[in-house]
Structure 1
Amino acid sequence: MDFDLLMTDHPAWRPVSTGVRRLLVDDRGSHWLAESDERHQLTMTPPAGAVPPPTPGFYSAPPSQVSARSPLTAPLRTLGVVARFANPSLWDALATAIVRQVIRAAQARRLYREFCDAYGPRVALFGDKDINAFPSPEHLLALSDADFTISGMGFKCRPLRHAARAFLTHGSTWCQLTPSVLVKELQTVKGIGPWSAGAAVADWSNDWSLYPYGDLAVRTWAGHIAPEYPWPDDEAAFARAWQRLTGDHLGTYTLLTLAWGTRHSGAI
C-alpha cells in the first residue's frame, strides 16, 4: 500500500511510540488492528477466522489541467496520495458524529477515547496492544445516566440513546441503502440533523461529496490552503462557492482539505 499521508481524522486513531494505531470494528464484531509507522508502512493484524481486512481508499488532487481554476489544486497536490479507511461500522460512524456535534475536535477525540476506555469492550490482540472499542448499541443502552455524566458525556446521552435504539431496529436495513439515501434516512432519528447524518455517512462510505462541506472545518482549512481567495464567511454561501470551485471533484477536494487540516493541526 503506497501512500504519502494516512488520514487520522477518526478519534479511534491513537498515537503510539512507533506511529499511530486504530482498532477497526465492523457491525458484526469482527476487528482488525491497523498500524502505521513514521515511514507510512501500514500493517494489519487480522482477527481469528481470517476475515479479509478492510483496505483504505486512496485519494490525490486532480492534475492541474483538470481543475486549473481552483486555488486548491496546487497546494493539495503537495499532500501526495492520501489513504483513509472507511469506518466499517455504521453504528460507530453515527455515534462518532453525535460525539462531534457542536464541540471542538480535540474535545470530541478526548470524550470518544475516554468513553471507549471506560465502557467499551476490551479487545485482546497481543503484547501491549489490547484496546477498547466504542460500546455497542446494546451496551450503551444499559449504561446509567450517571455513567454518561461521570464520563463527561451527559449532554450526549439522549442523542446517543436515540441513535442506539434506532440502529437496533433499522441498522441492518440502513446498511443496504445507497449512501445518499442513507443520509436522508438517518435524519429521521431524533437528534440527528443534516450535519451529523452527512458526517456519519461520509465516514462510513468514504463518499465525501456527502460530507457537510460548508462546515467550519472545511471553511477553516480552505482559508489556510488558499488565503488569498475571497472565501465567503457565511456557511451557505461558502458551500455554493465550494461546489463551483470543486465541480466534479467535490468529494475528493473535501476529503483532501480535511486531510490537510489533520496534517497541519498536528492533532491525533
Structure 2
Amino acid sequence: MLGLPDHAFHRAKIATLQASLRSAAHAYLLHATAWRQLQGHALVTALSDIHKVDSWTAAVAAADYLGDFALYPRHDLTLRTLAHRAAPDASLPVAEEPFAHQWTAWTAASSQLRTLTLATLAFGSHASTVPTPAQ
C-alpha cells in the first residue's frame, strides 16, 4: 500500500480508501509485533486508534483476523440483511439497536454468538429471497 502510486488506487477503484489503507499499512509496520499479541477487544481498540480507521472497520478486521466473530459489530447492516434473509420468519427487529440486543439475547455464551454470526455471514448470502412453494 505504501509503495503504490496514486494511480493504482484509482485504477482499482479504491481511491476513496487510499488514505485509510496507507494509514493502516503504516500503522501495521509500526505495531504489528504488538498487535499479534492482542486478543479480542484489545485488538479492536488498538486498530481503532489508526488514523482514518473507524470502530466498525477495526471490529470487522479483528473478527476476521482472530476468527472471533463475537467481535463482529452486531448492528452491522450486512449482518442484519443476511439474518433476515436466512431466517425470514424469525421476527428479527430491523433497526440497529433492537436487532443487536435480540442477536445477543439469542446466545448464552460468546462461543454461540461467534457461531451464529459466522454462520449467518457465511450462509446468509446463499439463502433464497424467493419463498419456496408449500409442499
> TM-score of the superposition, structure 2-length normalised?
0.85
* Alignment correspondent of 1:165: 26
Partners of 1:262 and 1:171 lie apart in 2 by 32
Which residue among 100, 116, 119 is the counterpart of 1:253?
116
Matched residue, 1:212: 73
Taking only the aligned residue pairs, the percentage that are identical comes to 38
Superimposed CA distance per residue, residues 171-230 of structure 1 (whole angstroms, 9 cap, x where no aligned partner):
111011122210111000012112111111111111110011221121112112222232
Q: Assess, with a 3 A threshold, how the Cα gap between structure 1 residues 253 and 239 changes in structure 2: closer, same or farther.
A: same
Query: Which residue does the alignment assign to 1:239?
Result: 100
Residue identity in the other structure for 2:30: T
Partner of 2:62: 201
SS in 1 for 2:37: coil
Aligned residue number for residue 151 of structure 1: 12
- Aligned position for 1:122: none
Shift of 1:146: 1.6
1:224 paired with 2:116, answer no
Alpha carbons 2:82, 2:125 under 8 Å: kept: no
Q: Is contact 1:202-1:210 (8 Å) kept?
A: yes
Quick one: distance in 2 between partners of 1:179 and 1:234? 26
* Bigger RCO (CA 8 Å, 6+ sep): 1
How many residues align? The count is 126
Q: Report the Cα distance in structure 2 between the residues aligned to 1:233 and 1:263, rounded to whole angstroms.
A: 20
Question: Is residue 176 of structure 1 aligned with residue 37 of structure 2?
Answer: yes
Q: Secondary structure at the residue paired with 1:231?
A: coil
Unaligned runs of 5+ in 2: 129-135
Which residue identity does 2:85 align to in structure 1? H
Paired residues of 1:194 and 1:212 also in contact (CA < 8 A): no
- Over residues 134-184 of structure 1, what are the superposed CA-to-partner deviations in whole Å (9 max), with x where a residue is unaligned? xxxxxx211121221122111110000100110000111101112221011
Amino acid at match of 2:90: Y
Moved over 6 A (4+): none
Tell me, which stretches of 5 or more residues in structure 1 are unaligned? 1-139
Displacement of 1:262 after TM fit? 4.1
Q: Assess if the C-alpha contact under 8 Å between 1:223 and 1:231 holds in 2.
A: yes
Which is richer in helix?
2
1:4-31 per-residue CA deviation (whole Å, 9 max, x = no partner) reads xxxxxxxxxxxxxxxxxxxxxxxxxxxx
* 1:211 partner SS: coil
